[in-house]
Structure 1
Amino acid sequence: MGLQEELEQKRKEIRTDSYSMSVGELISLYENEEIEIHPQFQRFFRWSATQKTRLIESLLIGLPIPQIFVSQRDNGIWDVVDGLQRLSTIYEFVGILRDEMGRRKPPFVLEQGETLPSLKGKKWDSSDDPENSLTQVERLLIKRSKLEMAILIQGSDPSAKYELFQRLNTGGSIATDQEIRNCLLIMADPDLYENLKAWSDDQNFKECISLSDKAQSEQYDLELILRFLVFRNMEIRDLQQIPYPDISDYLTYAIRAEAIKNKINYQQEKEAFETTFSLLADSLGDRSFRKYSHAKEKFTGGFLVSAFEAIALGIGYNYQQLQTQPINLEETVKALWQNPGFTDSLGGSTKGSISTRKRVQTILPLGRELFES
């Protein structure tokens, strides 16, 4: 298929509309539950009080606000694809923003503005503090402000909103690729996301990966769970045909496709996950994914993703056999670090660099074979 054909096909898959809406109309949509801003996203977006104040100040003095992108569901409800912080800030200032449990959050109190210093301490409308509340005129200025809305309308390719979200937010206020994936999961299948969050609290898993505080704060534990979920049962022929040189890019594609197509057998994957990390915790604990030095006869260093790919996914693939025909996991893991197929796949200063795709394509089959009982 040539470029022109690709363009024509893609443009048929995406149908859009756009128009202006007042802030007052957007407030009404939220109060009537006709727009979904995904309160779980608030874990990943990091607007400061200064940024929030700047937005309200811009509305008051009439500065233009960047366009909001939404996707229209079959039932007409809008999902916010880009603009969550802008809308959340407005709803929080007005005092109607709800958290993940459906509870109203305390209204946001403004800081000193750059152009309007007297904004400091101002509230939307407080009967307990009328002196620091905006006047009716000031509130109407905000409610009558217009925001440009871009709508992916019904009939568009279902994957379009995920692609749009990823493109608009990569490199923005979200810090990591995994937080992008988390948001995609929340949009596509919030129940699956919550289930995976529950997996991350598994004590055996937490003990085995023993991540740094920084890695934990960047949701790296969820990335490891996604690696387990995506690669554990992948056919070798499919593994060898991965088109992305960077496995991080493939993870984003794969989990998005899984969520959309609803292919995941959650109960089976949960059983494999819990069994894998129970076996590892009993045998190795926090040494599970560290390098083993045969010269020093001990495990050294910190967590290594290459070890996770070989060991966790190898055990996960064979978990049913290992329950009935156990092997000495510690000795098997030590043997892994003498296996040239594994050590050569890690690259290094003397071996040259190796793509993450090539590493996974080499390590996964090796791990499956190594942990056969």
Structure 2
Amino acid sequence: MSIDQEVAKARKDIRTDDYQMSIGEWVSLYENEDLDIHPEFQRLFRWTDRQKSNLIESILLGIPLPPIFVSQRENGVWDVIDGLQRLSTIFQLMGILKDQSGKSVPSLELQKTKYLPSLAGMCWDGENELPPELKRIIRRSKIGVSIILRESDENTKYDLFERLNTGGTKLTDQEVRNCILVMADMSFYEWLHSLTQISSFAETTSLSEKLVTEKYDMELALRYLLFSEADAEILRSVGDVGSFLSEKMIDLAKSTTFDRSKAYSEFKAVFDALAECMHENAFKRYSPEKGRHEGAFLVSVFEAVTAGVSARIKAGKSHNEIPNLAATLWTEHDFTNWARSGVTAARRLSRIIPFAREHFIK
């Protein structure tokens, strides 16, 4: 297929519409539940009150704002793909913003800004209320909307969300994936999160509070699900690992054959076995010279050992040899050559995972 044909085909997969809407119209959509700003994301996309006040200042001064990107569902409801904080700030100022549980979020009290210092302490309603003429300016101000119509390819909104919310954003890759997953299937997001709450998983990975806050634990759970039993052909096809995780996560969430209950039990069995035998040493480097595990958590060890232990459990073999097998991995060149730093995940996975499976069922 030529580049011209590829462009033509891809353009047919995406149907969009663009126009200007007043803030009053955005408010009506939200109040009528025709607009979903996904309050589950508010912790991740949190702005400071100073940033929020600067946005209101921009509106009052007539500074054009970037368009809001939305995706139209089958029932006509709009999912906000990009622009959540802009809309949330406006709705909070007006006192109509709801949190994930449906409770009202406290109204925004504005702060002093560069060009409008008198905004300090002002609110939409109350003792220090914005003047009516300023409220009218806000309601009548326009923000463009770019709509991905429902005729578009089903996965377009997830791809667009990822593109718009990576690069320059403070979100980690997994936090972006979690947002995508909430839009795709909230129940799968909750199920994936439940894996990270298994005590043996937390004990063996022993992640820092910062990494847990950034949802790296959920990325590890996802890596296990996608890599531990993947065949050689799939592992060789990985390419960019981040893109692979995002794409296959949606496939898994929407799968009608994936047995979540069975997968949960198998996941727990692997980490229970590792916690019983190795505790916090499960995913650390082993020094044959010193005869001990040392250093920090290594994702390459996590990938190999979990795949190996999963294979061992399925083969009906005992847990007793797991510590020795994890240690002797570090005497095998077929493992150490590919598990070292500097080797990309795309090159590493297709080598260490099949090797680890064979190694752990000896």
TM over 0.5, shorter chain: yes
Match of 2:350 among 361, 365, 373: 361
1:43 aligns with 2:43: yes
Residue 264 of structure 1 aligns to a residue in which SS? coil
SS of the aligned residue for 1:99 comes to coil
Paired residues for 1:75-154 under 5 Å: 75-126=75-126, 130=127, 132-154=128-150
Q: Deviation per CA, 1:300-325, whole angstroms, max 9, x where unpaired?
A: 00100011001112223443334x64
The answer to whether the 8 Å contact 2:228/2:303 transfers is no
2:337 is aligned to 344
User: 1:297 and 1:66 mapped to 2: Cα distance?
Assistant: 58
- In 2, Cα distance between equivalents of 1:214 and 1:179: 13
Within-5 A mapping of 1:1-373: 1-126=1-126, 130=127, 132-242=128-238, 244=239, 246-261=240-255, 264-322=258-316, 325-347=318-340, 353-372=342-361
- State the alpha-carbon separation in 1 of the partners of residues 74 and 159 from structure 2: 19
What amino acid is the match of 1:339? E
Task: Give SS of 2:339's match.
Answer: coil
Instruction: State the secondary structure of the residue aligned to 1:137.
Output: helix
Relative distance call for 1:101 and 1:4 in structure 2 (3 A) is same
Q: Percent identity?
A: 42
TM-score when scaled to structure 2? 0.95
Query: How far apart are the structure 1 equivalents of 2:26 and 2:131?
Result: 20
Supply the RMSD in Å over aligned alpha carbons: 1.7
Deviates more, 1:76-85 or 1:170-179: 170-179
Opposite residue 197 of structure 1, the aligned amino acid is H
- Unaligned 5+ segments in structure 1 are none
Assess, with a 3 A threshold, how the Cα gap between structure 1 residues 19 and 12 changes in structure 2: closer, same or farther.
same
Which structure 1 residue ranges, 4+ long, deviate > 6 Å from structure 2? none
Instruction: Give yes or no for contact 2:301–2:339 (8 Å, CA) kept in 1.
Output: no
- SS, match of residue 69 in structure 1: strand
With normalisation by structure 1, the TM-score equals 0.92
- SS of the residue aligned with 2:42? helix
Q: Residue type of the partner of 2:272?
A: S
Letter of the 1:284 counterpart: M
Contact kept? 2:60, 2:137, Cα under 8 Å: yes
Q: 1-side partners of 2:326 and 2:245: how far apart?
A: 26
For the Cα contact (< 8 Å) 2:273–2:319, is it kept in 1? no
8 A Cα contact 1:46 1:174, kept in partner: no
**What's the offset of the Cα at 1:340?**
1.4
How many corresponding residue pairs? 362
After superposition, the Cα gap between the structure-2 partners of 1:288 and 1:135, relative to the gap in structure 1 and judged at 3 Å, is: same
1:313 partner letter: A
Read off the aligned partner of 1:22 and give its amino acid letter: S
